[in-house]
Amino acid sequence: MGLEAGLLDGKNVLVTGAAQGIGREVAVLAARQGAELILADRSELVEDTAQAAAAAAGEHRRQLRCLTALADLETWEGAEDVAYRATSETGDIDVCINAVGGTIWAKPYDVYEPDRIEAEIRRSLFPTMWMCRAVLPGMKQRGTGTIVNVSSVATRGINRGPYSAAKGGVNALTASLAMESAEAGVRVVATAPGGTEAPPRRIPRGPGPESDQEKAWFGQVVDQTLDSSAFGRYGTLAEQAWPIVFLASDAASYITGSVLPVAGGDQG
C-alpha cells in the first residue's frame, strides 16, 4: 500500500500515544513521508519508536530530526509541557496527531464501577482535549496547522459505554474546533478506526478480563466488531495509519470537521 512519497515533507509532526499501536505506526509512516517528529507518550518505549522512525527515514537517505517527550497527557500540565518543548526545541508544530486512548475494560454500563467510568473518560477523551488546547493557539496565530484526532467507530458498540462516550466527545470536539478554527486557516479532522490487528501490547491498558463473565463480555465486543465490518475482519495498523497521514497532509487541504470511519464499512 502506498501513496505519493513525501506527503509530509518539511512538516513538524507531533504524534501522541507514539509508543505502540496506531500511534507508533503513524510515526514510522510519517517519517517515511518526510516529516520531522515530536513523539509523546508516558512510556519510555517511545524511544523504540524514535529508532524505528529514524530507520524508516534512512530508507530514503534522510536523517530524521526527532524529539521524544515523556508526559501524562491525561493532565493539562503534561500536554502544555509537550507543546512547549516541541515549539521551543523544534519550532512550530505543523501537525498534531492525537492517538492516545483505548478501552480499558469491557462490561455492560450498568455494572461499570464509577471510578472505572472516570478512568475511561480520562484515558480516551482528556488527552485529545488537552493537546488540542495546547497546540491551537500557536496554529491560529500563524494561520496554519492541522489536528488529526483518532476517534473510534465504537461510539456505536456494546460493553464499552464510557469509552464510547469519550470517543463521541472526540467527534464533537473535532467538529466544534473545525468550525472555530477554519477562519484562522487551521484544519481539525479525525479518523474513526474499527477493530485493528496489532502485536501484543507491551504496555497493558488495564488488568484484562478478571473472571469468566468479563471474558464473555470481551468476547461479545470482538464478535460485534467483526459482525459490523463488511469485510468480516479487523484492519491492519497500516490500514489505519495511511488515512491519518493523508488527512494530515496538504493533499487533504479542503477537508475539515470530518470524522472518517476506517472500519471495513462500519460507519460507527
- Residues 195-204: pLDDT tens digits? 999 887 677 6
Regarding predicted confidence, which is higher, 201 or 10? Answer: 10
Cell of 255: 477537508
Q: Residue 1: what pLDDT?
A: 43
Assess whether pLDDT exceeds 60 at residue 4: no
> Is 163 labeled as catalytic in the residue annotation?
yes
Assess whether pLDDT exceeds 80 at residue 44: yes
Cβ contact 182:147 at 8 Å: no
CA distance 25 to 241: 6
Catalytic position from the list 112, 163, 234, 254: 163
CA distance 222 to 66: 36
Q: What are phi and psi of 200, to 5 degrees?
A: -55, 135
Assess whether pLDDT exceeds 60 at residue 2: no
Q: What average pLDDT does range 186-205 have in this prediction?
A: 88
- 224, containing H or E segment: helix 212-228
**Which superfamily does CATH assign the domain made up of 12-262 to?**
NAD(P)-binding Rossmann-like Domain (3.40.50.720)
Cβ contact 64:115 at 8 Å: no
Q: Strands 95-98, 145-150: parallel, antiparallel or unpaired by DSSP? A: parallel
